[in-house]
Chains A and B, each alone.
Chain A
Amino acid sequence: MTGDMKIPRVLVIDDDVDFRASVKSLLESQGYEVREADSAKQGLRELVEQKPDVILLDVMMESDVEGYAVNQAIKYQEEYEKYRNIPIIMVSSIELSPDERFAMASELDMIRPDFYLTKPLDMSKMLELLQRALKR
């Protein structure tokens, strides 16, 4: 990152401590600022504090409604209204076809079915998608 370019902020919401730590380490080495949250509740707290530019959201956390809860809160609760434009990238360990991704996105009420990453993360794919999300 050079010049007056702003350091992009990423919020990682995932219930696996090692997964979060690895994403943080990998992205920090690429010049991102990364914050972690291990649940929907903590995620929303960090959202307000960090005001991220993009969110990486595990949609299959152990209590399986957490990912959904984050999206719902941002979308429909008034207190999160100003964060509504932050792009959310869905992360899951399930490999999905474009159709299935679309179905899943609509089931989870996510806006962008193409913002989807599979675990383990492919570094170049993740960076490319982050760039694309940040450009909007």
Chain B
Amino acid sequence: MRETPEQEMIVVIDDDYAIRLSCQKILTKAGFQVETFEDGSQGLEGVARLKPSLVVVDLKMPGISGMEVIARVHEIVPQAIIVVITGYATIGTAVEAMKVGAYDFLPKPFSPDELRVIVNRGLERRRLALESERSEVERALLKRRFITFVSHQLQTPLVAVHQCLDVLKQLGGAEGTEAKRQEWINRCLSRTEEMLAIIKDWLALAKVEADSLSRRRVSVDLRRVVSDILRAYEEMAGRESITLEARLPEEPCLVKGDRTCMGVLFDNLIVNAIKYNKAGGKVTVSAEEVDGEVVAAVTDTGIGIAEKHRPFLFEEFYRIKDESGKRTTGTGLGLPICKKIVTELGGKIEVESELEAGSTFRVRLPASREQEEADSSGSLE
């Protein structure tokens, strides 16, 4: 909703007193602020001072010509709309005026309604122009932010690797430095892995974006997607003594989507639930159909997510800094990918969490009525 707009300022420049007076009356009554001037040079001074949204100019005036006024007004306030009043409504002069930047023309004599209509139309045009300019600027900013972020995210580990290699170089082959060398090599390896993970996620995100329109949607049984992934992570969970549990119904849980995307979605959610769990914890994945929707939930018994972080979880590159001050893990792209996939398929993803108790990520997708297609392209790559 737009806030109550300020009264828009309109400047009228005409040497005819009667025209100035009637314009003033009509436009003030229509809710505008109006200032009138009797010649071009005073008018331009007024424009510079008042920065009006719209200027009404008589083409035939003594002194500076109307044509010149039009050009000069746009130098002073490029976004102002100019309406031209012509005594002799010849198409020729009107076209001439519009060539130098006037928005429209009003032949004398004109009715109050004609003036109001043309002014309102002009102002609406200005609003649209301003809005589209603003969204252009916003888009450009967003893009720049994304690029800065990506380069920062990649540059940071790369700088670290470079630094570690410098240390290795300096250690050289000196005796007794074997353990140290190993330590620095390990630092390099872990940072390059970090970089690879970021690039992999970034590409996945771009792929979801690029493919979403062209991809064929089929009926996918979430039960199979989920149990395949759980099986793949049994070992990883086992290392931290985390139990994985699937609560899946007897009948199929069909959604209209894409097998690869569904795999990526639940892969991300389940890995997070394991990674941010406590040793000896539990991950529960459930799915059921409720009122034409398939609702799937991934619940962990981990550290939970503080309320202040929750609104930003699905934003690109948002990462929560470990309270203990350790390095932040993860690429900051996993959940944005999940959100993108769910949104593309017309669904919703939401999070509930309690600190020190755990989190639940819940996905809602439109249920499919068609049978699952028999195909074997269920790979996650």
Q: Which residues of A contact B (CB under 8 A)?
A: 16-19, 21-23, 25-26, 29, 38-39, 42, 60, 62-63, 93, 119-121, 123
Please state if B166 and A26 are interface contacts (CB–CB under 8 Å): yes
Please state if B160 and A18 are interface contacts (CB–CB under 8 Å): yes
What is the total of A-B residue contacts with beta carbons within 8 Å? 50
Which residues, 140 to 175 on B, are CB-close (under 8 Å) to A? 152, 155-156, 159-164, 166-167, 170
A106 to B184, CA, bound (A): 37
Per-residue A-contact encoding for B94-114, CB less than 8 Å = 1, 0 else: 000000000000000000000
Per-residue A-contact encoding for B315-349, CB less than 8 Å = 1, 0 else: 00000010001011000000000000000000000
Please state if B160 and A16 are interface contacts (CB–CB under 8 Å): yes
Please state if B325 and A39 are interface contacts (CB–CB under 8 Å): yes
- In the bound complex, residues from chain A placing their C-beta under 8 Å from that of B321 are 62-63
Q: Is B275 an interface residue (CB 8 A)?
A: no
Contact of A18 among B152, B163, B170, B328 (CB under 8 A): B163
The interface size bin for chain B is 10 to 19
A17 to B326, CA, bound (A): 8
Q: With CB as the reference atom, state the residue of chain B lying closest to A41.
A: B325
- In the bound complex, residues from chain A placing their C-beta under 8 Å from that of B163 are 18-19, 22-23, 26, 119-121
Please state if A22 and B156 are interface contacts (CB–CB under 8 Å): no
For the complex of A and B, list the 7 residue pairs with the smallest distance between their C-beta atoms, beginning with the closest: A22-B163, A120-B162, A18-B160, A119-B159, A25-B167, A120-B159, A18-B187
A9 to B313, CA, bound (A): 41
- In the bound complex, residues from chain B placing their C-beta under 8 Å from that of A19 are 159-160, 163
Please state if B325 and A38 are interface contacts (CB–CB under 8 Å): yes
Q: With CB as the reference atom, state the residue of chain B lying closest to A122.
A: B166
- In the bound complex, residues from chain B placing their C-beta under 8 Å from that of A29 are 170
Rounded to whole Å, the gap between the CB of B184 and the closest CB of chain A is 8
Q: With CB as the reference atom, state the residue of chain B lying closest to A25.
A: B167
Q: Which residues of B contact A (CB under 8 A)?
A: 152, 155-156, 159-164, 166-167, 170, 184, 187, 191, 321, 325, 327-328
25 contacts between A and B (CB under 8 A): A16-B156, A16-B159, A18-B160, A18-B163, A19-B159, A22-B160, A22-B164, A22-B184, A25-B170, A26-B166, A26-B170, A38-B325, A39-B325, A62-B321, A62-B328, A93-B152, A93-B156, A93-B159, A119-B155, A119-B159, A119-B163, A120-B162, A121-B163, A121-B166, A123-B166
- In the bound complex, residues from chain A placing their C-beta under 8 Å from that of B155 are 93, 119
Rounded to whole Å, the gap between the CB of B191 and the closest CB of chain A is 6
Rounded to whole Å, the gap between the CB of A8 and the closest CB of chain B is 19
- In the bound complex, residues from chain B placing their C-beta under 8 Å from that of A120 are 159, 162-163, 166
- In the bound complex, residues from chain A placing their C-beta under 8 Å from that of B184 are 22
- In the bound complex, residues from chain A placing their C-beta under 8 Å from that of B156 are 16, 93
Rounded to whole Å, the gap between the CB of A36 and the closest CB of chain B is 12
Rounded to whole Å, the gap between the CB of A72 and the closest CB of chain B is 21
A119 to B152, CA, bound (A): 12
A43 to B161, CA, bound (A): 24
A16 to B166, CA, bound (A): 16
Please state if B159 and A26 are interface contacts (CB–CB under 8 Å): no
Please state if B191 and A18 are interface contacts (CB–CB under 8 Å): yes
A16 to B162, CA, bound (A): 13
Rounded to whole Å, the gap between the CB of B189 and the closest CB of chain A is 11
